[in-house]
Structures are given as C-alpha cells and as structure tokens.
Amino acid sequence: MNWITRWKKIGIKVKQIFKRQPLNQEATDWKNCPQCKKISYKPDLYNNSYICECSYHFDLPPKLRLQSLFDSEYKIIEAPDNIDPDPLDFEVKDGAREGYKYINKIKKYKKITGQETALMCASGNVSGLNAVVLCFNPKFGDGRFGPAENEHFLKAANFAIKEKVDVWIVVYQSSGIDVHTGVAGLAGMTKSIIAMNEIKKNNIPTFCVAARATAGGTYASSFFMHDFIIIESKCVENLLFSGKRVTANILKGTDQIPDDFGTGPGVMKSGLADITLENRKELKETITKLAYIILKKEEFKSKNVEEEAYEDPEDFKKTASTTS
C-alpha cells in the first residue's frame, strides 16, 4: 500500500466522522472533551453521569441532576409569575449592534432550556430525607442571577421553611449577577442572603455544591452561607469573585497569583471548602451521610454507587435534548 492509497483511506474516514458529527455540536449526539480532546457519544456520557473516561465532568443538565439526587419522583417549584427579567429594558443605543434588546436574549434562553429562569427548583426525598434542591442551568445565560432568579430563590426558600424540610441543597453553576439588570440585579445578593439567614434560623442543614465555574455576586453572596461547601470534582475551576486577568491588574502582575487560583484544589487549600469529591457519583451519598449525622437520624445505610442509575437510557433523546 503506497502513501497515496493510505491518505485516501484516511480522507474517507475523516469524511465519515464529520458526517456523523456536524460542526454544530449542540445539535448532535457528540461532545468534545476539553481535557483529553476525545469525542464522546452523548448516550454513553449519559450512562456515566456525564463523566468522560479521563474523569472530566461535563455540565450535568438540571433535569438529570434532580433525577440523580432524588429517590424517585419530585415536584418542581415553579418560578413566580409576573417577574420582569429585564427591568432596565436594556437596549444597545449605538455601534454594530444598535437596537439590540436584551429581552430577546432572555426569550432565546427560555426557548433553549424550557425554563422561565436560570434556576430549576424542586422538592422531594433524598435518601428518605425531605429536601429542596436548586440547580443553576449554565445554558440559561451562563447561570445568570438576575431579578427573576432572585425571586425564584426566595420562593424556594419560603417553601423549604413552610414545609419544614430536612435539607436544603443548591448546585451552583453561575457566572454571577446579570450586569444587564443593574441595581435590581445587585439587590438580589441581599435577597439571597436574607433567604439563607431565614433557612438557618429554622435549623435546616444547608449544602452548597460547586459543580462548575461560580463567580461574581453569586460567589460573594449565598454561596458561602451554607453549612457545607462541596466541590463536585477536582475538575471544577473558576471558583472566584473575579478572573485572573482582573486580579492580576489589582495585584500589578500575575507572578503573585498561584497556579491553582480559583480551582477546586486551590479553594480547598485556602480553607474555603469542606470536601472535594472524586466524582459526582459520590454526591448524593456524601450529602446524605452528613445530613443524617446533623439531624441525628438512624445510621444511613450506604447504597452501592453502581446500583444508582438514571432512568432508562432510551429516554435520553427525550430528556437530554432540551437540557443539554
């Protein structure tokens, strides 16, 4: 076989791969791993909790997150009605994007995710404990924390207090306060802090799960008010108030910034988190064990991680297509 023949065969294989994986990755059943560069088949990732073979953790869609935490069925806590997600009616007045309205982007986020806000909140049982779980969806404006999300957070907190739940869990994947909402967005920091204080007054154990980049006002408000801060895996990074570039400008040089700045191991070393898990499959059991100790319940009987699975993978197309 000469080199021309070999190159022809390679060319055919490349074409076959691109036919199976169009450039618009979000519309396909394939995902590229940013760590090992391997192309993975989404249903295979689905069966492995969206964890690559190299242990890189992809974003877990909120519906699958809730499914992995709750024992069986759960009830969605809907977003409050008549909350304006764009109180400033933000519009670009000049430049190439003149006339662009931010509300149009919000509508796009709603269409893509099927959610009214960047939060998905639900109540149900986690290993027999009555729980309220909140998940930020990074597909909704990078997990924005705007006025609509603030009110949704408050509604979930009020529900938890009224129902006297056993545990409160928030899975953070948020870029921070939505700057397009101005002061109304910043006011949400106060609202989320007040909500957390009320939950604590009612002696409800609280768990913060850092599943992805969490920054800005989200990081500086409710994130650190939880009893336990759990980093979902060693792959988690960008847990910081401001990025390396901004921090470097403040410190007048990057030589003063450690290599692990904002990473899971770096946050742990700084004493800002309590636990770093090997992978997200350990999350439910870890939360349950801690909650049982705090609540002085009977000893929790561990369930083999391998026994825990999502629903039938045949539902992948229907469940994951609107959430991934």
pLDDT single digits (tens) 146-205 = 888 989 999 999 999 999 999 999 999 887 888 788 888 787 788 889 999 999 999 999
Q: Say which DSSP state 25 is in.
A: G
Residue type, 273: A
Residue 27 pLDDT > 70: no
Average model confidence (pLDDT) across the chain: 80
Q: If you search the block for the tokens 């076989």, which residue do you land on?
A: 1
What's the rounded Cα separation, in Å, for the pair 295 and 26? Answer: 42
Please state, as a whole number, how many other Cβ atoms lie within 10 Å of the Cβ of residue 280: 20
How many helical (H) and strand (E) elements, i.e. helices and strands, does the chain have? 11, 11
Judged by average pLDDT, the poorest of 58-72, 96-110, 230-244, 297-311 is 297-311
pLDDT at 117: 93
Residue 150, C-beta contacts closer than 8 angstroms, at least 6 positions apart: 185, 187, 188, 191, 192
Residue 238 pLDDT > 90: no
Best mean pLDDT range from 15-29, 194-208, 224-238, 254-268: 194-208
**pTM score, two decimals?**
0.78
Q: Where are the alpha helices (DSSP H) in 127-215?
A: 147-163, 182-201
Structure tokens, 254: 């990057």
pLDDT at 77: 96
For the chain, domains (ranges, CATH) are: 23-58 (no CATH), 62-89+116-320 (3.90.226.10)
What's the rounded Cα separation, in Å, for the pair 267 and 42? Answer: 30
Residue 224, C-beta contacts closer than 8 angstroms, at least 6 positions apart: 208, 272
Could you give the angle at the alpha carbon of 108 between the alpha carbons of 317 and 243, nearest 5°?
95
**pLDDT, tens only, 37-65:** 988 888 888 888 888 888 888 888 899 99
pLDDT at 126: 96
What's the rounded Cα separation, in Å, for the pair 10 and 255? Answer: 45
What's the rounded Cα separation, in Å, for the pair 219 and 168? Answer: 18
**pLDDT, tens only, 93-126:** 766 666 778 888 899 999 999 999 999 999 999 9
pLDDT at 108: 92
Q: What is the CA radius of gyration of the chain?
A: 21
pLDDT at 245: 67
